[in-house]
Amino acid sequence: MDENVFATLLQTSISQWRQKGKKGVWLKLSLEFASLVKPAVKILVVQEKSGVFKGTGVWKLPTGSVEEGEDICIAAIREVKEETGIDTEFVEVLAFRQSHMSFFSKSDLMFVCMLKPTSFEIEKQDSEIEAAKWMPIEEYANQPFVKNRKSFEYISKICIERKDNKYVGFTALSTAKATSATSSYLYSHHHEE
């Protein structure tokens, strides 16, 4: 079967399985159909209407700013929902980058987060987003823009390694106490017992 036909049929099946309340499905393929596995692993990408990426045709990961008093893990979920309409659960911080003399001549921290989708029907934000879609991760990584910029190339390699379980990120461990109204998160390799 053609990869694109398989991907379309798979998406239809996933929608039907989800409506029936199924939480997981095993796909069993004989070796000669191994090439069909690739479309099953996709990432959510967007094209922006403004900024440096406007009109470039570059597909990028959804991005945004953390609001005052907002945790990184909550901000990632909110920004993806705002830009694409996709509901997600936070999984982990995969990497972070520090840059200096950025916004308002201050230092800036950018966190790359992995989220797990709990919905798949895209409803893009019309004001900021030109287009949004699910894309095979290798196709994202092979964009000339990504390959020609070290930080983007590193991020795409980390995403692919994480997909193949060759990389572990930082999960968010809540440090809140029952007696305290404030909560915070420790981002760590250690999973909660």
What distances in angstroms separate CA 152 from CA 20, 26, 37, 144, 164, one per listed residue?
A: 39, 32, 25, 11, 19
Average pLDDT, the chain: 87
82 is annotated as an active-site residue: yes
Answer whether residue 101 is part of any domain.
Answer: yes
pLDDT value at residue 6: 82
Answer whether residue 86 is part of any domain.
Answer: yes
Number of domains in the chain: 1
Close Cβ partners of 95 (under 8 Å, ≥ 6 residues apart): 111, 112, 154, 155, 158, 169
pLDDT value at residue 144: 93
Residue 36: which H helix or E strand, with range?
none
Average pLDDT over every residue of 99-113: 85
Of the candidate ranges 52-66, 91-105, 129-143, 179-193, the one whose mean pLDDT is the lowest: 179-193
Domain housing 70: 3-19+33-175
pLDDT tens-place string over residues 16-64: 988 899 878 888 877 777 777 665 678 999 999 988 888 889 999 999 9
Which of 82, 128, 130, 138 is catalytic? The answer is 82
Answer whether residue 181 is part of any domain.
Answer: no
Average pLDDT over every residue of 86-114: 90
* 143, two tokens: 């964009």
Q: What is the CATH number of the domain that holds 122?
A: 3.90.79.10
Answer whether residue 184 is part of any domain.
Answer: no
